[in-house]
Amino acid sequence: MLLIILNAFFCLAFAAFAYVNLNDKDAWLWVSIYMVASVCCGLVVFGKYYPVVYLIAIAFYLIYAIILFFTKDGVWDWITKYKKESIVQSMQATKPYIEQTREFFGLLIISAALAINYFAA
């Protein structure tokens, strides 16, 4: 029952995250990322498990997270160069490391949700 509640929450949350990304310049990427995760979690609510899909998605998300970690103005720069400046402030064109770091953690959250479903399957 806890798995169903958790997946219902993630399904709705990921769909909401996809919605707020509709106005981004890279909406095609982030709406797709969040909607794949939302659909995967939504299907679990109805007892449908797709472990191979979870593994493929997790692999993609973690590879992309690694790229975001090491890219210029990515997470590594946020930690070392920008001294872990708050990422809850508004995004500015002069601070792309904030968006890169937020995206990194979003990918980790999605990967964790799908990993839970993989192991539950």
Residue 91 confidence class, pLDDT cut points 50, 70, 90: low
Strand, coil or helix: what is 25? coil
Per-domain residue ranges of the chain:
2-120
DSSP secondary structure code for residue 71 in this structure: S
Per-residue pLDDT reduced to its tens digit, 3-44: 999 999 999 999 999 999 999 889 999 999 999 999 999 999
Per-residue pLDDT reduced to its tens digit, 101-118: 999 999 999 999 999 999
Beta strand segments in 8-115, E: none
DSSP secondary structure code for residue 91 in this structure: P
